[in-house]
Structure 1
Amino acid sequence: MCTGKCSRFVAIALYPLVLVSIICNILLFFPGWDVKYSQDGFITEEVKYMGGLVGGGLMVLLPALYIHLTGSQGCCANRCGMFLSIAFAGVGVAGALYSLVVAGLGLQNGPYCKVLLLGWLTPFKNGEKSYLTDSTAWGLCAEPKDIVEFNIGLFATLLACGALQLILCAVQMINGLFGCLCGTCTDKGQL
């Protein structure tokens, strides 16, 4: 496969992952589909780190845009452009890793919720048994409604998106290296 075509494939695959990451992070600010929890500061700590918005969103979107330019004929479809795509893909790897770590922590620690008689806390944090495999423990969270399922679904989606973004950006780093060393296909008319 031509390095330019590979760059286009990587960029086009990154765009929907960026969009999903941003949407998931924004939705996490509205637990129970209500604004009042965000206004009162009753949201999960990992949501405030904005792993999906900053890491899997902006830090992957900018490299995706540049990588897309290396895959089309023009100013960036040359050896120098491919060399720069390695650096941009490295930024994408860092963003995807940030998103992965934040999502992993969000899944590990569990949601911030109201526990009857105890108030607002993160009841599953530092627990002996993982709440992910014990759905009977989810009833501890009285408010917001269905917060455990809400957090698991969105953080798991962020985790999957971050993993795919990491793989795609790593592939582009290798592709950029080949494009830098061997050149792109633009001069052969194969793009």
Structure 2
Amino acid sequence: MLFSPCVLACSRTCSRILGLSLGIAALFAAVANTALLFPNWDVTFLLRGLIGRHAMLGSGLWGGGLMVLTAAILISLTGWRCGCFSKSGLCQNVFTALLSSGLAWLGALICFITSGVALKDGPFCMFNASSLNQTQTWKYGYPFKDLHNRDRNYLYDHSLWNSVCLEPSKAVVWHVSFFSVLLCISLLQLLLVVIHFINSFLGLFCSLCDK
């Protein structure tokens, strides 16, 4: 079939672009998660153990970061036909495609779920937990989750952003900004993985037709 070599070349070019895109997205995810460990670029909160569990989980570092980056390298090597992939056979290409797709999908999905839960629970910060006798008690926790205030959603009510969390300063802005970035990046990664999966099977189909 005359179209097979052309389609195969397009499939490899697509793999190169997808590998590069996933790699860049993985680096951005790692940077965003690293920023969450240093609120207002202050290292003291990390040293004191005052970082929320969602950020400490590091899903943007090892999930949307390292796992997706590893998959991106495999995809790029397949597209450029480098090293052991220069003369790879059909079975090896299928295995590499499944491995890279599964690895990237799992890492991006973990990062996506963690980011969504983090945005739902709100930031970890110091807030006023007044008791029944109106005594002011300052403590660290998740005020938008622990106070059970369901009437006002902090994501939409910006008046709560500077009135509830007292430390770190602008804790809500920091939390919402970087976890929103992680959510968008992981969603983009999931989309790229789907495209890679389709592209891989298109290349597989054309390889079978060519043979």
Name the TM-score, length of structure 2 as normaliser. 0.82
Give the superposition deviation at 1:31.
1.3
Task: Indicate the SS of the match to 2:80.
Answer: coil
State the distance in 2 between where 1:180 and 1:106 align: 39
Show structure 2 runs of 5+ residues with no match: 1-6, 129-136
More displaced stretch, 61-70 vs 129-138: 129-138
Contact 1:82 1:177 in 2 (8 A): no
For 1:90, the equivalent position in structure 2 comes to: 102
State the distance in 1 between where 2:107 and 2:81 align: 27
* Counterpart among 137, 142, 156 of residue 133 in structure 1: 156
1:80 aligns with 2:91: yes
Give the superposition deviation at 1:76.
2.3
More displaced stretch, 115-124 vs 93-102: 115-124
Give the superposition deviation at 1:87.
2.1
Contact 1:110 1:123 in 2 (8 A): yes
State the distance in 2 between where 1:11 and 1:124 align: 39
* Counterpart among 170, 188, 195 of residue 146 in structure 1: 170
Q: Number of residues paired by the alignment?
A: 185
For 2:143, the equivalent position in structure 1 comes to: 123
Task: Indicate the SS of the match to 2:166.
Answer: strand
Contact 1:8 1:72 in 2 (8 A): yes
* Counterpart among 163, 170, 183 of residue 194 in structure 2: 170
For 1:35, the equivalent position in structure 2 comes to: 43
Contact 1:86 1:177 in 2 (8 A): no
Q: What amino acid maps onto 2:195 in structure 1?
A: V
State the distance in 2 between where 1:172 and 1:80 align: 17
State the distance in 1 between where 2:79 and 2:92 align: 10
State the distance in 2 between where 1:127 and 1:169 align: 38
Give the superposition deviation at 1:82.
3.0
More displaced stretch, 30-39 vs 175-184: 175-184
Name the TM-score, length of structure 1 as normaliser. 0.90
Q: Provide, for residues 48-71 of structure 1, a one-character-per-residue CA deviation record: whole Å limited to 9, x for no partner.
A: 111100110011001100000111
**CA RMSD after TM alignment:** 1.8
Runs of 4+ in structure 1 deviating by more than 6 angstroms, as ranges, are none
State the distance in 2 between where 1:127 and 1:100 align: 25
1:18 aligns with 2:41: no
For 1:99, the equivalent position in structure 2 comes to: 111
More displaced stretch, 111-120 vs 142-151: 111-120
* Counterpart among 176, 179, 189 of residue 203 in structure 2: 179
Give the superposition deviation at 1:81.
4.1
More displaced stretch, 47-56 vs 122-131: 122-131
Show structure 1 runs of 5+ residues with no match: none
Contact 1:90 1:173 in 2 (8 A): no
